[in-house]
Structure 1
Amino acid sequence: MKLTKLVFNNYRCFGPTDTTINISDLTAFIGNNSSGKTTVLSALRKLFGNFKITKSDFHIPLDKSPEEITEGNFYIEAYFEFFEEDSEGLDEDDYGIAQYFENFIVDHPGGNPYIVIRLDANYEKGSSPEGIIDFKYHYVVNKGEEGLKPISAHDRNKIQVIYIPAVRNPSEQLKNATGTILWRILNQINWKESDKEKINKKIDELDKVVAEQSGINIVKKVVSSSWKNYHNDSRYNEANIKFGSSDLDNILKKLEVEFTPTHTEKAFKVDDLGDGLKSLFYLTLINTLLELENEAITEIKNRVSIEERVLNIDPPALTLILVEEPENHVSPHLLGKVIKNLNNIRNRNNSQVLITSHSPSIIKRVEPTEIRHLRIENGTTIAKEIVLPEKQDESFKYVKEAIKAYPELYFSSLVVLGEGDSEDILIPKFLSLYMDDLDTVGISVVPLGGRHVNHFWKLLNQLNIPFITLLDLDKEREGGGWGRVKYAIKQLLENDVVRSELLTLEGGSILTEDQLENMHTWEGYEYIGGWIDMLENYNVYFSSPLDIDFLMIEKFLEYYLMTLEKNEGPRIKIIENEKQKRIHELTDEEKQSTIYQDRIKSDVTRALKEKGGNGHTYTKKQKELMIWYSYFFLNRGKPVTHLQALNYIADDVLQANIPDVFKNIADKATLLLNIEE
């Protein structure tokens, strides 16, 4: 039995239109503060945890104040299924089937049976601040009000919730008091009468040993003598000092958990643990409880008699573990263990896990398909799933792993997509010249560009997160130039950009499908600038003419040369039998030599790659730069080279000579984020 879907209507931040959220065995709710993550968990506590319904649970429209609301209503529906969709046979031993069989719904012949449990609540303004609140729990057996059937407290109690708050105190849960986890664990033990007699006998023996101690005897006599001076009631004549009560419940209340071995002879108590270990031990208690409940279910399925059972409870059919911010107080290297343990819990037949988180370290350990992204739009919460390419698509694995590698994009106000590591260093540097703190404004630079960029556009569009993309123009490289422009246009069309807006030419004609398909064969680059300018309207930019690395040495070569040691740099032997000279030390006359010109041709071929052009669309100076491009970025690590050069470039020099594309990206980022200059 598993929870598969939640439906909200007018509950807290969820508006009057039904909001449906699909639930998996482990579901992670992410989003900015006050986006509705905790609201989802609170709904399950209202449904199955007997938590009080208050005025604040009713949705308040954006254009209303609480004082203006005279009446309201909300409902929450929880859908539960009992069999896997792809299972070949039915699990006839499923513990939950027997509990809820009479209330099964089947949508079509051969369909998967399920149940729906619904909470309806109504509010009317009254004389008290909270007003008049009425609520009812039902099964949904058909559509409409006539399809509601009252649910018994027993049936509702068969679905339990355990809420683990963001601030966790396992010490409270280790007290054997009603409602604590330890109480629930100990309450499951089937204490036989023979066991109770043995325990009482041992306690009596201990009391006798303690009473024989001479010091205790003296204390006992003094207390009894003094006690008689204060009353005459024969029922309480003697005052004894005993080890403890023989009542089993009172004995169990004295149980504690200790940790050994320690660096001292004294055992550690839970309160001695650090916050991180306390948080982990809290989860350990949950796992223990679920394991015992699973054992109890097994005993019931195996028809073990009540007298012979180790556990004497009627366990819940399903336990929902609600965890707020599992990353709290836990060091990063232990977060993997936290998720691993939560996955162990979710794999049980009798439990599921729902978590909320702000931590990329947690989110990257969760499958993207199990993430639910929440955001506030016009005063109400919108919930979205993460949609990946089809599994058979070659891009599925790449996109899935890339999303897991850069989970910060989920929490961003703006995402800048780049081609690779160079963009990851350079884009933040240039943007920082125009805004104080990228983290404060919520900008994430994510190197996810390339041939799968359309999938990331779809994801960010779906999550309603604005984004900017910087691609390499790769002029004269295979697939570059007009091919890159064509690629960007086709991806925009796949993301529902209106064709007539995107492909309207001067004079009003629209580029035909055949013309677009053949764009990569167009010769000459006289008009490519106009297309690049047009794509910037759709937040797509190009590092021109080649890529971001070439763009940097074209603007700041002298600072990249500063990173060279005395004997570093590309070398060439101009005259036969003469010692090699470094390229940047050649005279103008030496640069006219055939050997130098051949070197340029060689490095142009290397930079433009095997199936690329001969560099005829590049200027003489640009072709000479291909030597340095090959040296700095094809022979050495790109990130290190850029970081070393940036150390020599003052911010005012960088801003004064900033390539236009970065200035345009900074302007667009400021516009998208509504940042005042």
Structure 2
Amino acid sequence: MKLDEVKIKNFRGYQTETTIPISELTAFIGRNDAGKSSVLEALEIFFNNTLVKCEREDLNITADNNQIQITCIFSDFPDEIVIDAANPTTLQAENLLNGNGKLEIKKVYAATAANPKEKVFIVCNHPTVENGNDLLTLKRAQLKTRATDLGIPQENYNGNVNSSIREAIWNSLGELNLQEIELLVDKEDTKKVYDTLKNYLPLYALFQSDRQSKDDDKEVADPMKIAVRQALLELNDEIENIKTQVRNKAIDTANRTLEKLKEMSPDLANELIPEFKTEPKFDSQFKLTIKSEDDIPINKRGSGIRRLILLNFFRAEAERLRNEHQGNQIIFAFEEPETSQHPDHQEMLIQAFMDLSNSGNSQIILTTHTPALAGLLPLESLRFVEQNENDRIVELGTDEVFEKIATTLGVLPNPVVKNATAMLLLEGKSDVAFISHTAHQLKSNGHLTHTFEDKRIALVPIGGCGNLKHWRTLQLAEQFNIPYCILLDSDKGTAEEQKNIDQIKDLQANGIKAYLTRKREPENYVHLDCLNLPAGSTFSINDTCDAKVLIANEKSTKKSLILETYWTQMTAEQIREVEIYDDNGADRFEFTEMFMDFLSLVP
């Protein structure tokens, strides 16, 4: 199941019910104490109630009752559920979907105890007609009696299947008067339905920022304990053999002791029987930690290193959960993942999050204070949280909201020279070297009449299209009436490909000169002669491979330096060789034609 929305009421700063849309990637941004972490922790309570537990003190101080409410709305729920032996039914047939055809589960915690217990409700458009409004709470005998009282022939239903009896009763009542109700799932088939649905709920894994970051932290210890358990499982036969030998030798010693005891007290010896009280727990005898080559433990390293290792422990554990629950959606929640991280790691993190959110069975929720990180996030992912008197407001999706976010975090447009006549928006800094070198080579060999510098077209890296940095830069372009064009990586062969195609179509439909690379990304065009490969090397790249990684591994260099290091060595002839493609029998030159179109923005 996929989480579409969360509603929070009377929880900490959220007094009135606040509805928050959740997408594949969702980023909460706001000032300190605005209420960002409260959303992540409310979800932890809803799904797990372990790392963060609901407490009496979580009740909003201005609440008009003692009911903390956390509601989650899901799509992609199972087509069928089994609550009667092997007889499937559907949520729709049981009238358990809300007015939008989605599954809405509300958990209510009465803040009258130190650790409130949950009451679970399904919010649904349910029959309210007499004799049809309580069927999910009735036992089979009661359902049969209800059907008999209503004069429903027994041949109209299967008396051994509750859902069949309910269907027959509802069909006999005519107008069901469907209304939104909160159906308490505490008995009979309501409880069976929820117990079944729990197996399909997303897994939720929260990574908090205010951690001690020691090597005995639970999130560190748990994966390491799991590693020990997995190793013991692989050695299970050997371990069972050892246990048997130890047991036999120990019992033999005990029996010999009893034999001696019989010589002194036969009655007592006959009463005693040697027996092992518990199975030995081998996993508790092993404690695994990680040290550096200098024998320095994690908790003695720098805070950034500790947190980076801890973050990846968490990612590994979350991946394990996903592998063990094939088919389940998993929600990764990260609170300020950029904390104590170098800017290069911050960019790597956001790219990893975006890749994970596009994997098809993962959702990412995060909070951030960092302009560099927020600037790279897609606009549709942004949620701005701010305090309004005694309540919290969550906003999204408008220029006004984006302006608030940009102002709050200090997200600035990339600098553009004052005399720029136009802008070519690119994904990254290395693309500037790629574009600039290509244009100079093509001009020097007569394939172009100008370079971008000649026409004062600024090359502006924005980290991608449709993110906050892009929006901020376009605001600048509109303010000074500067035309712009866009070149994006196609990400061909990845989950991002179709999204990029759709973005370019939208831009072109609005009259923007916008292109995708025909290959995955610029690194896929690097001519192999520039890599100075050893004789006999079989190294190769194609249109869709991760050329950046392959070249970096082959040449032992940084991925971010591939274009600056190798593309800038390419001659015009090599560029023409890698940019040529066949178009219905005619030779076309991708970058030459694309650049000519971009340059036409300026007379």
Q: TM-score, normalised by structure 2?
A: 0.45
Q: TM-score, normalised by structure 1?
A: 0.41
Structure 1 or 2, whichever has the larger Rg, is: 1
